[in-house]
Protein backbone atom coordinates (compact mmCIF):
# COMPACT_ATOMS: atom_id res chain seq x y z
CA UNK A 1 0.00 0.00 0.00
CA UNK A 2 1.29 3.45 -0.93
CA UNK A 3 1.85 5.92 1.90
CA UNK A 4 -0.13 9.12 1.58
CA UNK A 5 2.09 11.64 3.34
CA UNK A 6 0.86 15.14 4.16
CA UNK A 7 2.87 18.22 5.12
CA UNK A 8 1.34 20.84 7.42
CA UNK A 9 2.96 24.27 7.32
CA UNK A 10 2.05 27.92 7.67
CA UNK A 11 3.08 31.43 8.46
CA UNK A 12 2.24 35.06 8.16
CA UNK A 13 0.99 36.23 4.76
CA UNK A 14 1.63 39.60 3.12
CA UNK A 15 -2.11 39.96 2.52
CA UNK A 16 -4.89 37.77 3.97
CA UNK A 17 -6.49 37.46 0.51
CA UNK A 18 -3.33 35.98 -1.05
CA UNK A 19 -1.02 33.04 -0.35
CA UNK A 20 2.33 34.84 -0.43
CA UNK A 21 4.33 34.52 2.79
CA UNK A 22 5.65 37.70 4.41
CA UNK A 23 8.98 36.04 5.31
CA UNK A 24 9.79 32.56 4.01
CA UNK A 25 12.46 32.20 6.70
CA UNK A 26 9.66 32.26 9.28
CA UNK A 27 7.51 29.50 7.76
CA UNK A 28 6.43 27.15 10.51
CA UNK A 29 6.70 23.50 9.48
CA UNK A 30 4.34 21.66 11.78
CA UNK A 31 5.30 18.24 10.44
CA UNK A 32 4.75 15.41 8.00
CA UNK A 33 1.84 13.11 8.77
CA UNK A 34 0.96 9.59 7.56
CA UNK A 35 -2.66 10.32 6.64
CA UNK A 36 -5.04 13.18 5.98
CA UNK A 37 -6.95 12.83 9.25
CA UNK A 38 -3.82 13.28 11.36
CA UNK A 39 -2.65 16.16 9.18
CA UNK A 40 -6.07 17.80 9.44
CA UNK A 41 -5.98 17.60 13.24
CA UNK A 42 -2.52 19.22 13.29
CA UNK A 43 -3.64 21.90 10.81
CA UNK A 44 -6.77 22.65 12.85
CA UNK A 45 -4.80 22.97 16.09
CA UNK A 46 -2.37 25.47 14.54
CA UNK A 47 -5.15 27.40 12.80
CA UNK A 48 -7.08 27.71 16.06
CA UNK A 49 -3.94 28.68 17.99
CA UNK A 50 -3.32 31.61 15.60
CA UNK A 51 -6.95 32.61 15.00
CA UNK A 52 -6.40 36.13 16.38
CA UNK A 53 -3.92 36.99 13.61
CA UNK A 54 -5.79 37.43 10.32
CA UNK A 55 -2.53 37.22 8.37
CA UNK A 56 -1.61 33.75 9.68
CA UNK A 57 -2.52 30.78 7.51
CA UNK A 58 -1.75 27.09 7.68
CA UNK A 59 -1.91 24.67 4.77
CA UNK A 60 -1.95 20.93 4.13
CA UNK A 61 0.22 19.81 1.21
CA UNK A 62 -0.53 16.37 -0.20
CA UNK A 63 3.02 15.12 -0.65
CA UNK A 64 1.89 11.83 -2.17
CA UNK A 65 0.43 13.76 -5.11
CA UNK A 66 3.83 15.22 -5.97
CA UNK A 67 5.33 11.86 -6.82
CA UNK A 68 4.19 9.32 -9.40
CA UNK A 69 5.89 6.01 -8.60
CA UNK A 70 5.20 4.75 -12.13
CA UNK A 71 6.95 7.69 -13.84
CA UNK A 72 10.66 7.36 -14.66
CA UNK A 73 13.04 9.11 -12.27
CA UNK A 74 14.42 12.49 -13.20
CA UNK A 75 18.13 12.76 -14.10
CA UNK A 76 18.80 14.51 -10.78
CA UNK A 77 17.04 11.77 -8.87
CA UNK A 78 19.04 9.10 -10.66
CA UNK A 79 22.28 10.83 -9.65
CA UNK A 80 21.21 10.74 -6.02
CA UNK A 81 21.37 14.52 -5.70
pLDDT at 40: 97
- How many C-beta neighbours within 10 Å does residue 2 have? 7
pLDDT 10s digit of each residue in the chain, 81 long? 667 899 999 999 999 999 999 999 999 999 999 999 999 999 999 999 999 999 999 999 999 888 766 666 666 555 554
pLDDT tens by residue, 25-38: 999 999 999 999 99
Superfamily of domain 6-79: Uncharacterised protein PF13773, DUF4170 (3.30.70.2400)
Q: Where are the domains of the chain?
A: 6-79
Distances (CA, A) of 72 to 3, 23, 62, 64, 76: 19, 35, 20, 16, 12
Model pTM score: 0.78
pLDDT at 43: 97
Amino acid sequence: MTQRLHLVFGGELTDPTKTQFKDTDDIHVVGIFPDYATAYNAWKAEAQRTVDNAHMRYFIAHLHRLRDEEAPASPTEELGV
